[in-house]
Amino acid sequence: MAIYDPKSLKADEFINDGEIRDTLRWAEEHKNDAALIREILDKARPVKGERGYTCKGLTHREASLLLENDDPAVLEEIYKIAEEIKLAFYGNRIVIFAPLYLSNYCVNGCVYCPYHLKNKHIPRKKLTQDEVRNEVIALQDMGHKRLAIEAGEDPVNNPIEYILDCIKTIYSVHHKNGDIRRVNVNIAATTVENYRRLKEAGIGTYILFQETYHKESYLKLHPTGPKHDYDYHTEAMDRAMEGGIDDVGLGVLFGLELYKYELAGLIMHAEHLEAVHGVGPHTISVPRVKKADDIDPTAFDNGISDETFAKITAIIRLAVPYTGMIISTRETEEVRSKLLRLGISQVSGGSRTSVGGYAGYSADERPHDTEQFDVSDQRSLDEVVRWLMENGHIPSFCTACYREGRTGDRFMSLCKSGQILNCCHPNALMTLTEYLEDYASPETKAVGYKMVEEELKKVPSDKVRSIAARNIEDIKNSNRRDFRF
């Protein structure tokens, strides 16, 4: 039987079933131990030092214990601390991105995804480079600067060369004042050599959802195709790191397995990356199973309520305070609104989850034929941006770290240095100004400029504040763009 070892490179040793079961048993036994719960909550709280805030985070055992406890007062405190962490490290900024579906050809058999090989009635599409260009122009015209590209696994139709060509095309398009400044990549687990090629192509984060950490369920949910290999999939982030990609994004598809098991597995994965590579995950995504073509989410027994989903999100925030957290348009405006306060730092906006879903369609038209899942939040990017601002969040289109080479542990040291207000905050305001000037509706512009003026006052350094103010004026009065700290 495999022994738990966070430093091991073997999937069943760093995501160890025995350790997860022990953790869940231990959490059940101690769930009402008030002194222990108090100790864990105190440990999670951000501490203000001379150079800003620091946080200790939580182990998978501590996180699981909080999840098991069902005292409403404890839950309130978890939410409060999650919000404090969010404000300490991310302020009121929310980074915006959009998915770009390149191809829905796929040789896998994932039972929760309509792109599975056996789905014979869904049309299969793969964008040509001209079509990629058109999609990128449409996305730039909406105001996007950051994309997450998505493609099914198909060595014949979507080989790595195709993905690399698409990345090259995306970075090459500069329409009006637009450009895509960071391309995150969500493709199947691959080899160290291919990760190296992705790194050389200038990708931002490599994202790969684990779907479920429960091996037995994983094998059933992925009955056929290369993704069936649990170990190869689970060890992908280590190969990505070996290939030089130091920003990796984890995720679980909540609803497939028991959420308590998944939370423990997810935090163990983060601990493993930290133990082996010295840097935890750059982001964690929290998707839930959704309706799609031939997929009915009620067919999965482990669906979670909005309340449980919020609790999980807040506990992840406590456990990995320096990791960005992403929520997609799978969730409704109401759910997104609540989760933004509990730790989410990135949202997608104006998303289309079909291949070729942007170019040639108006803001309220959306093709459904190749959709990977139903989009619950169907608002345009302009509406999402305005909604965020009206709720006190600053929509940020910042990609500065990636462009300045601050990835991996250099990014983490920025987070831990207390310089976020002198860096992320002005960057958010400058990129928001770009958006307002180039793409926003008059109504959004009015709300936005008021926010920029107020928020600029919060930049602590006089020097940084005055440079940011000058750049903002420059953006308004010229075509100069892409200022950053």
How far is 400 from 223, CA to CA, in rounded Å? 41
* The only residue of 234, 427, 444, 471 in contact with ligand SF4, by rule CB under 6 A: 427
Which is nearer to ligand SF4, 108 or 323 (by Cβ)? 108
Q: Does 424 bind ligand SF4 (CB under 6 A)?
A: yes
Q: Does 108 bind ligand SF4 (CB under 6 A)?
A: yes
CB of 115 to ligand SF4, least distance (A): 4
CB of 227 to ligand SF4, least distance (A): 5
Q: In terms of C-beta distances under 8 Å and separation of at least 24 residues, what long-range contacts does 445-452 make, across chains too? A: 447/386, 447/389, 447/390, 448/385, 448/386, 448/389, 451/389, 451/394
Q: Does 212 bind ligand SF4 (CB under 6 A)?
A: no
Stretches 25-33, 281-289, 325-333, 392-400: which one binds ligand SF4 (CB under 6 A)? Answer: 392-400
Residues 223-282 contacting ligand SF4, CB under 6 A? 227
Place of tokens 């991105």: 97
Site string for ligand SF4, 355-374 (x = CB under 6 A): --------------------
How far is 41 from 307, CA to CA, in rounded Å? 20
Nearest to 295 by CA among 110, 152, 106, 154: 110
* The only residue of 385, 423, 432, 440 in contact with ligand SF4, by rule CB under 6 A: 423
Q: Where are the alpha helices (DSSP H) in 45-113?
A: 60-68, 72-90
Which is nearer to ligand SF4, 381 or 428 (by Cβ)? 428
Alpha carbons within 13 angstroms on the beta-carbon side of residue 36 total 17
* The only residue of 19, 62, 153, 179 in contact with ligand SF4, by rule CB under 6 A: 153
B/e letters for 12-26, b = 16+ CB within 10 Å, e = fewer, are: bbbbbbebbeebbee
* The only residue of 8, 103, 396, 433 in contact with ligand SF4, by rule CB under 6 A: 396
Which is nearer to ligand SF4, 327 or 401 (by Cβ)? 401
Q: Does 189 bind ligand SF4 (CB under 6 A)?
A: no
**8 Å CB contact between 342 and 297:** no
Which is nearer to ligand SF4, 196 or 406 (by Cβ)? 406
Q: Does 398 bind ligand SF4 (CB under 6 A)?
A: yes
* The only residue of 74, 98, 106, 381 in contact with ligand SF4, by rule CB under 6 A: 106
Q: Does 412 bind ligand SF4 (CB under 6 A)?
A: no
Residue 225: DSSP 8-state: S
Nearest to 209 by CA among 266, 147, 279, 274: 266
Q: Does 127 bind ligand SF4 (CB under 6 A)?
A: no
In this structure, how many other beta carbons lie within 10 angstroms of the beta carbon of residue 453?
12
CB of 310 to ligand SF4, least distance (A): 24
CA dihedral (353, 358, 363, 369) positive or negative: negative
* The only residue of 61, 86, 116, 379 in contact with ligand SF4, by rule CB under 6 A: 116
Q: Which two tokens stand for residue 194?
A: 């291919």
Q: Footprint of ligand SF4 on this chain (CB under 6 A)? A: 106, 108, 110, 113, 115-116, 152-153, 188, 227, 396, 398-401, 414, 423-424, 427
